[in-house]
Amino acid sequence: MKKTIKTLTAVSVLAASTLASGVAMAELSGNVGVTSNYVWRGMTQSADNSAVSGGIDYSNESGVYAGLWNSNTSDNAETDIYVGFAGEASDIGYDVGYISYMYNDTGAGATDDFSEFYVGASYDKFSVKVSLSSDFADSTEDTTYIELGADFPLENEMTLGVHFGNYAYDNADVDFSDYSLSLSKDDFSITYSATSDDDIINPTDNGRFAVSWSHGIEL
């Protein structure tokens, strides 16, 4: 999953089911998915081939959550582990957390493995998120990824998603932006993604489409 930059995932979303756990209500859920092209931040992680993913999430009413997510990549496989805290203050939603991206073809601690701290906020249809890493590709290279998004409901229970992101490298001159449009309904979606730099993805083929299916499972 990472060649020129990194190879990774769009993190799985916390989904449904409830379990009574002492005083607090806890939620445990699973998710499965398949896509024609695993694209992350505008970059294909599966060499423009299909990918299968699955994960498990835990959360409770305090706002604490944790999860594990796996997918195949162009090299082998990726495992993401994350933990965070999410909630609402008035009409503003917030999310703060930590995620570790690991690749079993390189082993723990290898240069392809990295982690990020992130903070996000949302209001109505709009969201913003900042992800910071101090070990992206190597320990001397800090990165900042800022993303903006919006989801607009359409007729027939469809949703139009708009995304823009910018990657900034503190110690390297390879900053670039990515953008995407998606149309989703129920468990299905179709997405067009591209970046501002052809060389980041492929010198002869920048934009790409992906058709995806994902489903949450109550546990």
pTM above 0.75, yes or no: yes
Question: What pLDDT score does 5 carry?
Answer: 38
Task: Give me the count of residues in the chain.
Answer: 219
Residues of the chain with pLDDT under 70: 1-25, 105-111, 135-141, 171-173, 198-205
Tokens 């607090």, located at residue:
24
Question: What pLDDT score does 18 carry?
Answer: 28
Question: What pLDDT score does 22 carry?
Answer: 34
Beta-carbon contacts of residue 54 (< 8 Å; ≥ 6 apart)? 30, 31, 32, 33, 69, 70, 71
At 190, is the secondary structure helix, strand, or coil? strand
Q: How far apart are CA 114 and CA 121, in angstroms?
A: 23
The full set of domain ranges for the chain reads 74-213
Yes or no: say if 6 and 116 are a contact pair by the CB < 8 Å rule. Answer: no
